[in-house]
Amino acid sequence: FAARVARIEPGARTFGELLRAEGQSAAAIERFWEVFLRPALNLRVDEVDAATALFTVATALRSGRAASDLVLPTAPLGEIHGEAARRALEGAGATVHTGARVDDPDSLDADLVVLALSPEEGAFEHSPIVSVHLLFDRRILRHRLAALLGSAAHWVFDRGRLTGHEPERGQYLTVVSSGAPELEALRGREIVELMARELTERLGAAELLWSRVSREPQATIALRPGVERPAPGLVREGVARAGAWLDTGWPVTMESAVASGVTAARALLVHKETPKVAA
């Protein structure tokens, strides 16, 4: 199937519909495609736009071995991205202000502005991500990560091992479930009990010592068939927009965030260097 990706016409359908039309079995869809694509696109294959999924498949499976590498963060993403960006900007002579509200963009004393904002309220449907942090009294996961088939706990990570900060006792695991709005309806304690049960029934008995639930109800926009996103770049004189949710060719990912930022910066530089003609 991966070898034919470039020749497949996505059409206005879901990736699940495309897979079945291409002869993929129910087992292949459940045990491979769902496991592979749901974390990347934050929707089930029967919900996500086929063109978006085909792009992801082609990028990961048809672009060389390095393109399919699974990169696991060893520190919080805010530290990896936010703090690193702050250090780079300040190292270049910039001043960084956070928590400063701007109500009137016209009042900004700036030559060029990049707006890296979330989409307008109500403009798109969103899809959630739920993460559950669990500390057990003993080790139950032998590997650094595992996908649990047919489970509400989609992926489980040995957080202590990945970060190099293993607890003195037991094992610190993080469960991540993508595109699972049904979990949003549950109380925190119910989610913890569900995930702890899913893990101990499959991996072995253990006592839960501590837990924490992290919800991102608007983690990404839902890229269903027919959803159209605006492009990054110049939106008015001296102002450009950026953001992972914009149409960069990528799904709503960190790669899309970077691509949109590069596009916005280039558009502003071109705008700045273009001679202005007096009216």
pLDDT digits (tens, 9 = 90+) for 211-221: 999 999 999 99
* Angle at alpha carbon of residue 158, lines to 216 and 63, rounded to 5°: 75
Q: Summarize pLDDT for 142-195 with one digit per residue, the tens.
A: 999 999 999 999 999 999 999 999 999 999 999 999 999 999 889 999 999 999
pLDDT score for 56: 94
CA dihedral 22, 24, 26, 32 (to 10 degrees): -130
pLDDT score for 74: 85
Orientation of helix 34-41 relative to helix 50-61, angle to 10°: 110
> Where is pLDDT greater, at 32 or 78?
32
Alpha-carbon gap, residue 126 to 74, rounded angstroms: 27
pTM of the predicted structure, to 2 decimals: 0.89
Please check the confidence at residue 277 and state whether its pLDDT lies above 60.
no
pLDDT score for 75: 85
pLDDT score for 66: 83
Domain ranges of the chain: 2-68, 107-120+226-279, 126-221
The dihedral sign for the CA sequence 162, 167, 169, 175: negative
DSSP string over the chain: -GGGGGG----SSBHHHHHHHTT--HHHIIIIIHHHHHHHHSS-TTTSBHHHHHHHHHHHHSS-GGGG-----SS-HIIIIIIHHHHHHHHTT-----S---S-GGG---S-EEEE-PPPTTSS-EEEEEEEEEEESS----SSEEE-TTSS--EEEEHHHHHT---SSSEEEEEEEES-HHHHTS-HHHHHHHHHHHHHHHH----EEEEEEEEEEEEEE---TT---PPSEEEETTEEEE-TTS-SSS-SSHHHHHHHHHHHHHHHHHHHHSPPPP-
CATH of domain 126-221: 3.90.660.10
- The 3 state secondary structure assigned to 250-264 is CCCCHHHHHHHHHHH
In the block, tokens 């960084």 appear at 96
Q: What are phi and psi of 215, to 5 degrees?
A: -110, 140
**Whole-number mean pLDDT of the chain?**
93
Length of the chain: 279
- What one-letter code names the amino acid at 221? I
Q: Which two tokens stand for residue 188?
A: 């925190």
